[in-house]
Structure formats: structure tokens, C-alpha cells
Amino acid sequence: MTVADRRTQAERRSSTRARLLSATIESLVEAGYTRTTTTEVTRRAGVSQGALFKHFATKSALVAAAAEQLFADLIADFDGAFERSTQASPAPASPPVIVALHRLWEVFCTPALQAVYRLYVEAPVDAELRAALVPVVRKHEANVQARARDLLPQLATSPAHEALFGAVMFAMQGMAVQRSVHLDAAKEARILEQFESLAVTFLGDGRPTHAGATTDA
């Protein structure tokens, strides 16, 4: 087999895997975990059951891989949206910490992420799913913490502030999940305003400070 043949085979495998993961997320959003069967995923992806099991030994492994891919994609989307918002010309309308909260809220409200969060309810009663999800969730939380420290450097110097940011983040996640049952936009807006106030009070505006900079008395 030539190098070109191997590359083409690898590309086909990568394409099939991507289609399976996309179909899994789509099914989780539209049908939920119980009805997201391997048969349904292969139907949506347009591949055979044999092709699926060449990539993923079990449904739980497939679902966990789909969650991992979604987490990675959403962090990349968040980074892009944050960068665009904070580099507005001539100056961003909101301080970085507020921009970060707004972008997080948009991410939490995406149907795909809410579908993944609903897996957390299934996991305690499904040992195989739980075992597959635990390392994925741990990796994702570590990635989120690392990105938060990059974007808001003050978090790295204060465990208390990092814990506060984490508490706000988890509260926002819970509020986003509740939207699927009851949506109260006015109440959400008031709560988000309080999150913003807490963030600015304890973290400042999130803009980098520079040695030697002067401030008005």
C-alpha cells in the first residue's frame, strides 16, 4: 500500500468517525439518550453498524466520544467569540470578564450542550455510561479552568476567586438546563446581571494590568 493509499484510508476513517459523532449529537438533541441507539446513529450517519463498531466498541464509548468532541468544539467557538468581542474597534463595549460571562451563557444555552448535560442524569444509573463519561468530563473541566485562567489571569493568583468563578459557571449551567422545562427570560436577565456584578466586584473588569501604569486619584 502506498503512502497516498494509507492517507486516503486514514481520511476515510476520519470522515466516518466525524459523521458518527455528528449524528450522535444530533440524535441526543432530538431523541434523547435512551432513543439514541447505534441503529439510529448509523442511519443518520449513513454508515453500517460494522463501520460504527470499528470505531466504537459500545454505545457508551460512542456517546462519550461525541461529548468530548462537542466540548472541544464549543471551547474553540467560545475562544473565537471572546476574541472578536474583546478586540472590537475602537474599544470593546464591555470589559473582558463580562464578555466571558456572556459568551459562556450563549454556550450553555446551545441545544447540543444541554443534551450532553442531560447525560449526567443518566450516568448514575448506567455504570457503563458513567465510566465512559468520567474521564471526558474531568478533561473538559480542566480545559475550561485553563482557558479561564488564560483569559482572566487574576484567577490563577487567587483560589478563592477561581472557586467563585466556578460557582457562577455551575449555577449558569443549571439555569441553562432548566430552560428545557421552564423559560423565564426576565428572571434569567436579572440573575445574569447579579452574576456580572459578582464577577466585576471580585475579579475586576478582567483587563490586564501593566506595571508602572498610573491611575487617577
* pTM for this predicted structure: 0.82
152/165 Cα distance (integer angstroms):
10
What grid cell was written down for 23? 449524528
Helix (H) or strand (E) holding 212: none
Q: What percent of the chain has pLDDT over 90?
A: 46
The Cα–Cα gap between 216 and 158 comes to 26
- Give the type of residue at 187: K
Cα–Cα dist 135/96, whole Å: 30
Residue ranges of the chain with per-residue pLDDT less than 50:
208-217
**Chain segment 148-176, per-residue pLDDT in tens:** 888 888 788 888 888 888 888 888 888 98
42 contacts 51 by C-beta, under 8 angstroms: yes
In this structure, the dihedral spanned by the alpha carbons of residues 201, 75, 115 and 46, taken in order and rounded to 10 degrees, is 170
Domains of the chain from N-terminus onward: 1-56 (1.10.10.60), 58-203 (1.10.357)
